[in-house]
Amino acid sequence: MTGTRKFSLRMLALLMAFLMVLPMGAASAGMVESVDFFITLTWIDRQGMMQTAQALPVQLEGYADCYWAQVAPDAPLDNLRLEIADFTGTYFSFSPANGTVLPPMMDAGDTLDMDDFYLEIMAKTADGHPGALLYLYVSTVTSTPTLPGQEVPVIPAPTPVPTAVPVQPVDVNIHYVDEQGNRIADSTTQRLEEGTWPVYASPWNLPENYLLTGDDFQYVTVNQYGADKSDVYFYYRYQAPATPVPTAVPVQPVDVNIHYVDEQGNRIADSTTQRLEEGTWPVYASPWNLPENYFLTGDNFQYVTVNQYGADKSDVYFYYRYQAPATPAPQYGTIRVRLMEVSTNRELYGYDMQVPLGQTVDVYADMSMLPPEYVPVGDTWQQIRVDEFGVPNPAPVFYFISNATPVPTQT
């Protein structure tokens, strides 16, 4: 399957999945009768899951070349990947290019401002000449933009619905059969959570000379009613091997090196080797010691072809991007600070103090509430270690003594 055809099928699958989950009212109110360009933005969320948002044409007169995409509030505006296609077949390339990470985007909010907050996308013909110029806006606020000075439409609050019953995961059976329905490889099972997921064909014991007749994936949707496909079938056609030429030299197997690096080319996991025979084979990314918080930036496989001249790729590289985990907010507790009279061990004044748990803090004696005749005995500050339960060590206690002159005794 060529790269262009695989891309087209991939974009069509994304469009079908998007239309399946788009509410009926939103589909009728937010889309035009004919969409020439299909634009989506993808990113990796904090849980490491890929998220997608479609950019729709703006429904305002005179702004037909403007596209508006609403993304999640926590979407990384500096790490959005562009997917774009022209369904009319007029344009064949774009700038920025399809599949690239966009430069940092500004949040357009709820206003369509032609002077700011947009990204220009130039569509180009097959011979590289510029064509349509599109303006892409990204918002974390709304899917319905307004013009500057225009009143923001009030969207009625949705009618509360009963608490949804948690959707249970479903085990989907994956079968590999020939065109007559006969099983040719062992079936497998994949557990799917709620949502729409791609299920890939990956038979581990497929006989030689069987070729997949369609796409190597199918979408399965899981909701409160279960999976729309409890069994997924991939069909293969047997292709008899060509009769070898008697004088042909047997093709030797090739060891292909598989590397796992970051976006700067630094190795982040041990390289592995896979021996490939003659033919075209998928090489999958499977690092056994990948550090935490690294995510693959592209497909999890690459094709390598082996023929009489060797492998077209002796080294295969998979690139990963580091995504720092969120830093938890500090927790606070309350400790008691006591100001004591040294000779009687009597508390002169005490007060509570908010401090971060699990840290060492400086505590100063607040002498503003003491009578003026009291002076400190020793330091008026301490370093206190507060454990995760809010217990200070040592306890913050400061001692004072009165320097008042005694009254003479009358004789």
Q: pLDDT, tens digit, for every residue of 249-279?
A: 899 999 999 999 999 999 999 999 999 999 9
> What's the count of helices (H) and strands (E) in the chain, helices before strands?
2, 28
pLDDT band at 3 (very low <50, low <70, confident <90, very high): very low
Mean pLDDT, range 138-158, rounded to an integer: 72
DSSP letter at 309 equals T
pLDDT at 32: 38
Mean pLDDT, range 347-358, rounded to an integer: 92
Angstrom distance (rounded) from CA 346 to CA 376: 14
Phi first, then psi: give them for residue 153, nearest 5 degrees: -65, 140
What's the 3-state SS for 354-390? EEECCEEEEEECCHHHCCCCEEECCCCEEEEEECCCC
Residue 206 to residues 184, 234, 245, Cα–Cα distance (Å)? 7, 12, 26
pLDDT at 25: 36
Q: What's the whole-model pTM score?
A: 0.34
Place of tokens 């262009």: 4
Mean per-residue pLDDT of the chain: 85
Cβ 326 vs Cβ 351: under 8 Å: no
Q: pLDDT, tens digit, for every residue of 30-89?
A: 333 345 788 999 989 888 888 999 889 888 887 878 999 999 999 998 899 999 988 787
Cβ 347 vs Cβ 395: under 8 Å: no
Closest C-alpha to 196, from 224, 165, 232, 223: 223
pLDDT at 171: 95
pLDDT at 156: 54
Angstrom distance (rounded) from CA 268 to CA 287: 9
User: Does residue 29 register a pLDDT over 70?
Assistant: no
Mean pLDDT, range 8-25, rounded to an integer: 44
Closest C-alpha to 134, from 147, 123, 149, 150: 123
User: Does residue 396 register a pLDDT over 60?
Assistant: yes
User: Does residue 27 register a pLDDT over 60?
Assistant: no
Residue 308 to residues 99, 249, 262, 311, Cα–Cα distance (Å)? 33, 8, 33, 9
pLDDT band at 23 (very low <50, low <70, confident <90, very high): very low
Higher-scoring residue by pLDDT: 7, 321 = 321
Q: What residues pair up with 199 in beta bridges, in sequence order?
A: 218
Angstrom distance (rounded) from CA 52 to CA 41: 6
pLDDT at 190: 94
Q: What residues pair up with 195 in beta bridges, in sequence order?
A: 222
Cβ 197 vs Cβ 141: under 8 Å: no
Cβ 373 vs Cβ 404: under 8 Å: yes
User: Does residue 367 register a pLDDT over 50?
Assistant: yes
Least confident of 36-50, 224-238, 258-272, 301-315: 36-50
pLDDT at 121: 92
Angle at 88 between CA 145 and CA 130, to 5 degrees: 80
DSSP letter at 47 equals T
Least confident of 147-161, 188-202, 382-396: 147-161
pLDDT at 63: 84
Least confident of 16-25, 321-330, 389-398: 16-25
Fill in the amino acid letter for 64: A
User: Does residue 143 register a pLDDT over 70?
Assistant: yes
User: Does residue 152 register a pLDDT over 70?
Assistant: no
User: Does residue 328 register a pLDDT over 90?
Assistant: no
User: Does residue 317 register a pLDDT over 70?
Assistant: yes
User: Does residue 165 register a pLDDT over 70?
Assistant: yes
User: Does residue 211 register a pLDDT over 90?
Assistant: yes
pLDDT band at 109 (very low <50, low <70, confident <90, very high): confident
pLDDT at 92: 81
Place of tokens 């357009």: 108
Cβ 319 vs Cβ 297: under 8 Å: yes
| Structure tokens given for 70 | 């609403």
